[in-house]
Structure 1
């Protein structure tokens, strides 16, 4: 069953890696989409309830992506429902329980209890992390992350966005938690080789806590923050290899994009030039 596409869809986080792709996908499908963030017009600020009503006005559905280290504010979902929102797709994380990401666990509980039609999307590691968080490491040829040699399900942000668009514009996935991976599980060392080959660079990976502590210490991250991250990433290492879920393929009816394809396209865009 298809939801009427006359509703305006609010995309919170609509200028970021995934949100911008959600906005583009909705508009390409002829669906009215409103990107919202601090620099949009009207502006939206999670910490300022005075900015909420203007972006919620006339909205029927909502893609909800919280910034890092921001909790879902009490009363926001109630305000959205009062404004006419009836569907919410929450962008969470596949490691939400494994890494004990409290703010996202609480957001998932709130969405389920909201009375709105809901879908939770839980992506694995973004392929695009290699052009954002890990870009400097790629350029320097040294990437450290304390996850050992456990294989991960690197997923392309375009696939995440396409799944989100499907969840926002159909009734097919209401009440579902969609765990998204790419088509193949790769260790970070293998992923670094894939990215390095596309970028024409050698990228060495070190999955030990010691190397991560040294890298983060050199970057000026406080010791207590580093140790918390070592503990959380350690849970990923201890969990072992990921098994690709096939959810992207099931939802979209096409193959998921591989990390190699992403890396080749990113290199062609000059990401690591």
Structure 2
């Protein structure tokens, strides 16, 4: 098992936060990198440190004594230079391994656009870094449905941006579990892992589960790509990030994410969690 400090970036997000919880109180000292360390949950054995991908000195301080890094960077706006800066600092600091959070569909083509082009560039940098590496390409997160909560509460509507397509929706806690196994395990690395839940489900399937648990009938409405783009513009999305999101969603609408793997079960020794399991555990977020 790898020894040394583990650095977690994206420490307040869906994956980074769950990785912290899994590692907290364990045998590995853990360091959480954040621009605002006060926003990092207080957990046993977790040290929150200030850092910024544009500040090399802060990265050097954060990486002192680190043996493994979870690389998660914010995609709005997507900046490959941030990932490269962290990788360069990690190599200089003597880090041994990096686990990169990417996304399913990365490297595919849709409507003349490269899906996940930002992830693809970072994946290439990870593979060429000289570090031991694992790339994780999870399917769409179950937690993405939290974006429906307000619409469900107001009018019982679930917006469907992928047009009824089915996906291997995955519990972020399973992604975090695989990330931890790759960060601390003693097996060989150098692999790209596609992670999915145990079933292919649509937005309508998810709405049925949520409605049944809430005791309500929910209505699914298609959200075409132009309407999705319009909403993102209203929310102030960076234009590059928006087009990347549209390309990924278009790929999913075409059926590209209708993929199932058993990788979670192979790595964790148990089946991947169902969407219903995730929904039960988070029903209060929907008013249940």
What TM-score results when the alignment is normalised by the length of structure 2? 0.83
Cα offsets for 1:89-119 (capped at 9, x unmatched): 0001012224622211111000000000000
Unaligned ranges ≥5, structure 2: 38-47, 109-113
Question: 1:115 pairs with 107, 115, 130, which one?
Answer: 130
Aligned equivalent of 2:255:
239
What TM-score results when the alignment is normalised by the length of structure 1? 0.88
Task: Decide whether the 8 Å contact of 2:8 with 2:20 is kept in 1.
Answer: yes
For residues 196-235 of structure 1, what are the structure 2 equivalents within 5 Å? 196-209=211-224, 212-213=227-228, 216=231, 219=234, 229-235=245-251
**1:152 pairs with 2:167:** yes
Q: Which moved more, 1:69-78 or 1:164-173?
A: 69-78
SS of structure 1 residue aligned to 2:199: coil
Aligned equivalent of 1:128:
143
Task: Decide whether the 8 Å contact of 1:181 with 1:244 is kept in 2.
Answer: yes
Cα offsets for 1:96-151 (capped at 9, x unmatched): 224622211111000000000000011111111122x3332332322323311211
Unaligned ranges ≥5, structure 1: none
Instruction: From the superposition, tell whether residues 174 and 241 of structure 1 become closer, same or farther in structure 2 (CA, over 3 Å).
Output: closer
Question: 2:199 pairs with 157, 172, 184, which one?
Answer: 184
Instruction: Count the aligned residue pairs.
Output: 267
Aligned equivalent of 1:94:
104
Q: Give the Cα–Cα distance (whole angstroms) in 2 for the partners of residues 146 and 272 of structure 1.
A: 19
Instruction: From the superposition, tell whether residues 43 and 201 of structure 1 become closer, same or farther in structure 2 (CA, over 3 Å).
Output: farther
Q: Give the Cα–Cα distance (whole angstroms) in 1 for the partners of residues 60 and 229 of structure 2.
A: 45
Aligned equivalent of 1:15:
12
Task: Decide whether the 8 Å contact of 2:225 with 2:246 is kept in 1.
Answer: no
Task: Decide whether the 8 Å contact of 1:209 with 1:230 is kept in 2.
Answer: no
Aligned equivalent of 1:54:
61
Task: Decide whether the 8 Å contact of 2:117 with 2:244 is kept in 1.
Answer: no
